[in-house]
């Protein structure tokens, strides 16, 4: 779509592919433990080489999130964090020169309640580059994708291991920026290994689409990132990062220490993509 020619997310994956590079896409809960720490984490990750990051907008009833991310959502909401605060967070990050391609991971309940056109306009104005709505069905994507593209936002969608082959292709056709391939059936969380069937499914899908494919759910160690990046364009890591942030908070760590601990882990995860 011509409206996305200069989209930061689309451009980033094109540049990575041109350079023969893969990428790590960390996930952060916006506002956890607070706005300032989230912003500091983004700047730290960028300094360590992160090109793409997902920001989860806290919601009271997570769609497929395990206990780690769900707990971070609850903590942010209990502290009064709102969707408007998430927009301000991103606006502040951009104002400070932040250049990571940011994808808003958000429940459709939030989008619907604010009105899709209004939400997408706010997200674009704030500085988001893409939107990922886990509970947006394929049947609704045909209307939603153009609304996003008109505002310069890439529409990212999920494909699950249980998604039938033909439906995978249909979903891929509505994705811009990248396709989020869910590695396992179930919820987010750290796992010891990924199913071999997932790797084969991604390899098969790769032959049908030029859109970048990133694998998420369960990836928690550098060696898993390496395995994923043999067939995909990137690895998404969420729970393992949020877990380290939560542990640091529980231990009474300062903001600088929280950021340093999470950042050091991200550096380990990035290494196999270089």
Map out the domains of the chain as residue ranges. Answer: 7-268
Mean pLDDT per segment of 10 residues, for the chain of length 274 residues?
Answer: 80 97 97 98 98 96 72 96 98 98 96 94 98 91 92 96 94 96 62 73 94 93 93 95 97 98 98 92
Radius of gyration of the chain (CA): 17
Token duo for residue 226: 């390496």
pTM of the predicted model as reported, rounded to 2 decimal places: 0.94
**Token pair in block for residue 153:** 């936002």
pLDDT for 1: 41
- Pair of tokens at residue 221: 């160690």
CA pair distance 149, 157, nearest whole angstrom: 14
Q: Quick check: 141 and 155 in contact, CB under 8 A?
A: yes
- Residues in contact with 60: Cβ distance below 8 Å, sequence separation at least 6, in sequence order: 73, 74, 77
What CATH architecture is 7-268?
A: Alpha-Beta Barrel (3.20)
Would you state the pLDDT for residue 68? 87
pLDDT at residue 51 in the model: 98
> What pLDDT, on a 0 to 100 scale, did the predictor assign at position 149?
96
Q: How far apart are alpha carbons 6 and 172 in whole angstroms?
A: 20
Give residues with Cβ within 8 angstroms of 146, minimum separation 6: none
54: annotated active-site residue: yes
Catalytic residue list contains 65: yes
Q: Which pLDDT score, from 0 to 100, does residue 178 have?
A: 98
pLDDT confidence of residue 137: 86
Helices (H), 50-99: 67-78, 83-95
Q: Are 188 and 64 in contact (CB under 8 A)?
A: yes
What local confidence, expressed as pLDDT, does residue 87 receive? 98
Catalytic residue among 44, 46, 65, 140: 65
Catalytic pick among 44, 54, 129, 233: 54
């Amino acid at each position: 779509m011509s409206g996305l020619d200069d989209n930061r997310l689309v451009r980033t994956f094109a540049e990575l592919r041109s350079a023969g590079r893969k990428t790590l896409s960390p996930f952060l809960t916006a506002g956890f433990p607070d706005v300032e720490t989230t912003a500091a984490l983004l700047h730290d990750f960028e300094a360590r080489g992160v090109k793409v990051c997902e920001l989860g907008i806290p919601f009271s009833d997570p769609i497929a999130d395990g206990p780690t991310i769900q707990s971070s959502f609850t903590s942010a909401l209990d502290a009064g964090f709102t969707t408007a605060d998430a927009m301000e967070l991103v606006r502040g990050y951009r104002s400070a020169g932040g250049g990571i391609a940011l994808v808003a991971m958000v429940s459709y309940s939030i989008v619907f309640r604010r009105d899709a056109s209004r939400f997408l306009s706010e997200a674009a104005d704030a500085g988001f580059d893409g939107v990922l709505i886990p509970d947006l069905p394929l049947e609704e994507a045909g209307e939603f994708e153009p609304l996003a593209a008109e505002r310069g936002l890439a529409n990212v969608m999920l494909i699950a291991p249980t998604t039938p082959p033909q439906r995978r292709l249909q979903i891929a056709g509505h994705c811009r920026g990248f396709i989020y391939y869910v590695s396992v059936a179930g919820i987010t969380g750290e796992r010891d290994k990924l199913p071999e069937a997932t790797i084969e499914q991604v390899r098969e899908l790769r032959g049908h689409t030029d859109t970048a494919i990133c694998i998420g759910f369960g990836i928690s160690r550098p060696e898993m990132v390496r395995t994923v990046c043999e067939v995909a364009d990137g690895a998404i890591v969420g729970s393992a990062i949020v877990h380290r942030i939560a542990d640091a908070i529980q231990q009474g760590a300062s903001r600088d220490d929280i950021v340093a601990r999470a950042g050091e882990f991200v550096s380990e995860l990035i290494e196999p993509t270089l």
